[in-house]
Structure 1
């Protein structure tokens, strides 16, 4: 057997000399923030709220810079590192504060003989947001901006300590997040900032940084990590993000109009203006956009990037001092004031200094359109330079690919890769635009796409590790490392079951790896959380909190077939991994519960329609029998295999399928439907005896798994082609739901996984991919070829007619077009 390569390779970062949890560098902060001890020697914790940005700096003399200068740092909440004014990197990745991560760098290429300046811009968000949750404040750490840094200058160490200087940057602030969006809306007042502020060290306001000593009982005034509330700082779990500079496809400029109203918030300002001035003349133009401003009047400039992009927006500006640019980022060309369009709610503000003006965002946003509402306090000439987006995304690595004689399949494969890339930042996020939250359930689809298309699997490991943050009762938050986890509120129980499936998926592809072993106790606690909700038959009823499963109109109340199936799937997969570890007790426990559920599951069988219904109410079987009810019965193994084809007939017949949602439709979220859902009102607008509610794009991954198990390749292929409806008007990504939601949502990317796993037919045969199973879908297209990653290298498959050419780094079994299965050694083989 070959030695694993690529798929388990380390991130592209320098080898670091860090061997212990102890740091030489000290936590440092602004002296106004770091708590002093009172006369009794007790700490006075800071209670500051709101976003602040501090610039820390130090200098070092270097006669001859070493070839390599290993350095590491982290900050609460975010940092940007500069060396001699040149941006080196930014971070850290999102994480729970007691499991904070650091980054390591090689500063060697950035240093020169003589005096060198190291600057670190630290942002402290103050209030929890979509990707950051505060640490527990007190004892001088937690509750304000702090930084720790150390670099090896060749036996001489540069560390963060009281010799550093710090200055609060008053010109860099934020408006509150707008609506449901959790991404900060930044405000830059360039009048408060010098042009060269990253390397800036002159002027007033600089003060010595103060070392932050932990002041709690038992801390012994320690100021070097590990310290509470952050604990031992952990290395970055993923590689560096990839940056690409993008420019718009088109610009437009509206005519002038009155400003209408002063609403304070930049996003509200643009939305209100656009609502009042829908009929202004609009001319297509190019960068730089030039016009003459009239005092008290405003002009709207729009840039279209042609597709959804995600990163840091920038533009240069020539304008009189005090000119205000209110910015709205949009993913769709809709009226930003329209009700129900909660995606159109992110933005920023820039106020010009009157010379050398340029805006460069510090917060990552997803968008297709940028709307700039420009107003000047005095008449003057305005010029907006080219608007750019510096995309910062986690890349798909390696040379995995898919090509075929069917252009539609090729576009679907590429669209899923692009959608997941846009939704892979420092974690798997739901979408690049509206939220950027790390939802515990969503990431199971992102993970499948990375495992089948990228040779770097570090993000596929990080997903279940980051989400492994259970509540006191063992259940996972609905999203992690953000305001939702911080508030410890209502969760989505079934999201933890999707997460458990992600742990098993990692096991299938990587085998008995350290991450899988470390995650198993949390999987068990999730499974045990459901035990009080078993009825006398062993199936689940009256499960509390927000049971979501999917945005489709499925019934989960009463006694639930879908929740029972998802729990049973997790039980069986937990037993699978436990048995592989030799943990017979856990495996038998889980199998026993699964067997009881299988026997009790018969209560959901509808013999007349030969499928499974969604639920029972007061012991009475109800009519709705959704796609998900049938599909989850199959993937969990609760449905006998003798019934699979009958169930597949019911859930895959396009004549029966209808699209319904409890909360959305007609282009957006429906407030009336949401209100009804909260009140327990579920309006059935289809014939539940004869029609089948189709799963939305997310939960379709389970439907497609079920069809594949049934050997229903034709229905599966027809289903995944429906995703082509998203690929119109320039969009090259998959949307959130059928007909509504965001146009780029990572959880909708299952067709890409399907093409690799079910059309090319490449899957692990044994856990860890020590062998492969290859079952091509003959007849789908005249010709297709591709490569998928394994821990041992890429596995290539080429299908022409009924002939298949395989180049595999591992032994494999092959299923031919006539259904016969044969075993083959690693290497190059032609079959058919």
Structure 2
């Protein structure tokens, strides 16, 4: 689309709704706070004519947005879904060209809009502005020709129907953050998206107008609370339609569902039946189940790997059969043995209409297995149920272009691909922690996703969106732990160190993109985060008693009292801020940051343990405590606080396999969360079950990105291939994704994907030599690997590097700065060049 398609800030289309909710509005306080409406879905339609004499134009640009989410069809063909997640006052819109879907004569645009009502993991309600932003709303406009009056817009000519087919789950709508979908297909005519559907029984759409002081009853964007809506800014999501690789069947006796006080929850109902079910037998789809009154049937399908997208179900059944689906991430879930409590409850139910029973979920789910429960037959109804297919249409952000990595070591190649797949499964309209449980956009987690995109995807728009979406500070300047969802909405406590990882993401983007305007717009948010810490600077210049949730990662580290961990991350942020401020010509801000950094450097020496050769986690009442972690040594190096002559020794100490132990404050031995540990931690109880005087706690996969940055900065990048092999522990039983933590957690957590970044930045050795890749640094460190090759994206095109038996060839669209193993440097202009490693 071009800027000329939709010039200016004012839309032609009006905000429309099905009918205004019945709020008690006091006309003397029209800006008063109103509660959001309940969960609902509204169907909108508009038929229109394309004249024979003019025909279908070559282009028909359309833009659309909604609160909360929409699905758009033109003449029965699904066009797209959106809008992408965004804070309500920065609401996004999408643009499409629908010319290819139009025809001469009668056409129809159909839109299903969901309003979630209560904040969930990926949406939060807008601030009250009268009735605006309190219920399902849609705005759309399409230019049918270049004539000024030839616009198709949302207005009172549209037809609307608040659907009875979907309903919210009264108890536990979002137990794991992901909405539960309950659909009664008997109430949904599948032809409603087609031209010939009769919508005469529907109501006229209501134009929604502002009712606050100064709103002037405006109904077209920009209006409060959405402001000047912004373009999408990222690419379209999509993926392949995938089918299971295995299926099984088992039966269970008919019985009342216990379901833990949630009798309508699909997952709880299914777990209850699974506990009573008999042994499984392998089957293949399609399969016909002959129902009787005494038994119900459970069909289980396994996709062989984690998939993420819209679940599809193709069924032949009598009308009124409730089918429950439960989406499970585990390859070997055993309802009798567990871990039941920590298993996610993402699920859905579908009540058959008796014909055309082809279901496609509205929301996205991540899963490996699907359990489908077919109930016993009721009296007089013993008809068969045929399960034709269960599938998932994957729906995530694509990795595009020709970026690549290969080596003489198949294990490293597999790790590179697994990091991409893991990140892909957590790249939707934002970076998420995991698709199977939460789908929350955690401000800290996303820095690893971003780095994977920067090294393996030629499309960097989602990497840019990570920092702009995260730039949503509280009134005090601190970022919420997750953005756009129930956590940001309630405005509670944060994970302050997550904001410091976000700052690293801003710095990553500055280094790779070199975008002055973007960096300038983000730097005030960066500074406010850094200044948030100033009240906690102690007399030594370090940070003490920082409140809220100082997570670091799930390893057993100490961040309380006077903290080396938080101080080191803050110092890294100050140094990165100073570098960006200098680049923008803001000398005063750079000087402020460097003055803090210098004071920290002097006080940080108190954490140094000369006998053990690294830094301890914290100091309590002036006493250096013995607990030592990889994280403490790593932040000392990456922040530059440790003298450079110590760096190599610190890395040797914190990566020594004879000293390093794996411990977590909340991880359980059964592969799940240990609730007893979680309760203890909430009470301030931290049990040291390792030799704190001599052993060092290993970072979990997330913070390992900082550890590996330290290894490389200390001049030991050649060790990374061996350190990365630990990640192979995740790649078993068909999984091709990295898990959350060492030995427990979800099997698809993109904060663990540092191997992909490390193999490009440090093993192949390709990084920006100057902001924006004005030139490229090539410093391969293959260790014992004989052969490496890769193609790395830059704003100027791919940089291709090949390493074979000590000889390095580079094909680059930008000048090259080469660093040999002995540290000697050479330069070459853009084009082809060769070097000796």
1:292 paired residue among 290, 293, 296: 290
Q: Indicate the SS of the match to 1:326.
A: strand
- Aligned equivalent of 2:432: 429
Q: How does 1:73-84 map to 2 (within 5 A)?
A: 73-84=64-75
Q: Give the TM-score, by structure 2 length.
A: 0.95
Q: Does residue 368 of the first structure (1) align with residue 372 of the second (2)?
A: no
- Aligned equivalent of 2:168: 174
Instruction: Please give the alpha-carbon distance, in whole angstroms, between the structure 1 residues aligned to 2:711 and 2:471.
Output: 30
Instruction: Please give the alpha-carbon distance, in whole angstroms, between the structure 2 residues aligned to 1:818 and 1:568.
Output: 30
- Aligned equivalent of 2:314: 316
Instruction: Please give the alpha-carbon distance, in whole angstroms, between the structure 2 residues aligned to 1:495 and 1:336.
Output: 36
Q: Does residue 410 of the first structure (1) align with residue 413 of the second (2)?
A: yes
1:29 paired residue among 17, 27, 43: 17
Q: Which moved more, 1:743-752 or 1:45-54?
A: 45-54
Q: Displacement of 1:70 after TM fit?
A: 0.5
Q: Does residue 56 of the first structure (1) align with residue 54 of the second (2)?
A: no
Q: Which moved more, 1:238-247 or 1:363-372?
A: 238-247
- Aligned equivalent of 1:70: 61
2:227 paired residue among 226, 231, 256: 231
Q: Displacement of 1:322 after TM fit?
A: 1.6
Cα shift readout 1:55-83 (whole Å, capped 9, x = no counterpart): 01111111111010001010000001111
1:158 paired residue among 152, 162, 176: 152
Q: Displacement of 1:46 after TM fit?
A: 6.1
Q: Does residue 117 of the first structure (1) align with residue 113 of the second (2)?
A: no
Q: In 2 relative to 1, CA 713–39 (structure 1 residues): closer, same or farther, beyond 3 Å?
A: closer
Q: Displacement of 1:15 after TM fit?
A: 6.4
C-alpha contact (below 8 Å) 1:168/1:205 kept by paired residues: no
Q: Displacement of 1:649 after TM fit?
A: 1.6
Q: In 2 relative to 1, CA 671–33 (structure 1 residues): closer, same or farther, beyond 3 Å?
A: same
1:331 paired residue among 329, 334, 344: 329
C-alpha contact (below 8 Å) 1:34/1:210 kept by paired residues: no
1:746 paired residue among 733, 747, 750: 750
Q: Displacement of 1:695 after TM fit?
A: 0.2
- Aligned equivalent of 1:8: none
Q: Displacement of 1:816 after TM fit?
A: 2.1
| RMSD of equivalent CA atoms | 1.7
Instruction: Please give the alpha-carbon distance, in whole angstroms, between the structure 2 residues aligned to 1:86 and 1:715.
Output: 53
Q: Indicate the SS of the match to 1:372.
A: strand
Q: Displacement of 1:264 after TM fit?
A: 1.6
C-alpha contact (below 8 Å) 2:31/2:128 kept by paired residues: no
Instruction: Please give the alpha-carbon distance, in whole angstroms, between the structure 1 residues aligned to 2:570 and 2:33.
Output: 44
Q: Displacement of 1:99 after TM fit?
A: 0.5
Q: In 2 relative to 1, CA 642–340 (structure 1 residues): closer, same or farther, beyond 3 Å?
A: farther
Q: Indicate the SS of the match to 2:479.
A: coil
Higher relative contact order (CA 8 A, sep 6+): 1
Q: Displacement of 1:174 after TM fit?
A: 3.1
Q: Displacement of 1:665 after TM fit?
A: 2.6
Q: Which moved more, 1:354-363 or 1:148-157?
A: 354-363
Q: Displacement of 1:655 after TM fit?
A: 1.2
Unaligned runs of 5+ in 1: 1-12
Q: In 2 relative to 1, CA 472–37 (structure 1 residues): closer, same or farther, beyond 3 Å?
A: closer
Q: Indicate the SS of the match to 1:71.
A: strand
Q: Does residue 760 of the first structure (1) align with residue 755 of the second (2)?
A: no
Instruction: Please give the alpha-carbon distance, in whole angstroms, between the structure 2 residues aligned to 1:38 and 1:784.
Output: 70
Instruction: Please give the alpha-carbon distance, in whole angstroms, between the structure 1 residues aligned to 2:22 and 2:154.
Output: 15
Q: Displacement of 1:596 after TM fit?
A: 0.2
- Aligned equivalent of 2:183: 188
Q: Indicate the SS of the match to 1:310.
A: strand
Q: How does 1:201-600 map to 2 (within 5 A)?
A: 201-202=197-198, 205-261=201-257, 263-277=263-277, 280-295=278-293, 297-332=295-330, 333-335=332-334, 338-339=338-339, 341-375=341-375, 376-377=377-378, 378-600=381-603
Unaligned runs of 5+ in 2: none
Instruction: Please give the alpha-carbon distance, in whole angstroms, between the structure 2 residues aligned to 1:165 and 1:778.
Output: 64
Q: Does residue 727 of the first structure (1) align with residue 766 of the second (2)?
A: no
C-alpha contact (below 8 Å) 1:163/1:209 kept by paired residues: yes
Q: Displacement of 1:44 after TM fit?
A: 8.9
Q: Does residue 681 of the first structure (1) align with residue 685 of the second (2)?
A: yes
Q: Displacement of 1:561 after TM fit?
A: 0.2
Q: In 2 relative to 1, CA 828–70 (structure 1 residues): closer, same or farther, beyond 3 Å?
A: same
Q: Displacement of 1:646 after TM fit?
A: 1.7
Cα shift readout 1:416-443 (whole Å, capped 9, x = no counterpart): 0111111000000011111000000000
Q: Indicate the SS of the match to 2:395.
A: strand
C-alpha contact (below 8 Å) 1:797/1:804 kept by paired residues: yes
Q: Displacement of 1:823 after TM fit?
A: 1.4
Q: Indicate the SS of the match to 2:570.
A: helix
Instruction: Please give the alpha-carbon distance, in whole angstroms, between the structure 2 residues aligned to 1:308 and 1:514.
Output: 38
Q: Does residue 710 of the first structure (1) align with residue 714 of the second (2)?
A: yes
Q: In 2 relative to 1, CA 809–341 (structure 1 residues): closer, same or farther, beyond 3 Å?
A: farther
Q: In 2 relative to 1, CA 40–205 (structure 1 residues): closer, same or farther, beyond 3 Å?
A: farther
C-alpha contact (below 8 Å) 2:247/2:283 kept by paired residues: yes
C-alpha contact (below 8 Å) 1:510/1:768 kept by paired residues: yes
Q: Does residue 634 of the first structure (1) align with residue 637 of the second (2)?
A: yes
Number of equivalenced pairs: 818
Instruction: Please give the alpha-carbon distance, in whole angstroms, between the structure 1 residues aligned to 2:783 and 2:649.
Output: 23
Q: Indicate the SS of the match to 1:520.
A: helix
Q: Give the TM-score, by structure 1 length.
A: 0.96
Cα shift readout 1:769-807 (whole Å, capped 9, x = no counterpart): 101111111443121111000111000000011111111
Q: Indicate the SS of the match to 1:602.
A: helix
- Aligned equivalent of 1:198: 193
Cα shift readout 1:195-216 (whole Å, capped 9, x = no counterpart): 3233374267500001001011
Q: In 2 relative to 1, CA 696–705 (structure 1 residues): closer, same or farther, beyond 3 Å?
A: same
Q: Displacement of 1:142 after TM fit?
A: 1.2
Instruction: Please give the alpha-carbon distance, in whole angstroms, between the structure 2 residues aligned to 1:553 and 1:16.
Output: 56
Q: Indicate the SS of the match to 1:196.
A: helix
Q: How does 1:693-704 map to 2 (within 5 A)?
A: 693-704=697-708
Cα shift readout 1:700-732 (whole Å, capped 9, x = no counterpart): 000000000112234322211100011110000
Q: Displacement of 1:513 after TM fit?
A: 3.2
Q: Indicate the SS of the match to 1:242.
A: coil
Instruction: Please give the alpha-carbon distance, in whole angstroms, between the structure 2 residues aligned to 1:683 and 1:697.
Output: 22
Q: Indicate the SS of the match to 1:418.
A: helix
Q: Indicate the SS of the match to 2:605.
A: helix
C-alpha contact (below 8 Å) 1:180/1:342 kept by paired residues: no
Q: Indicate the SS of the match to 1:393.
A: coil
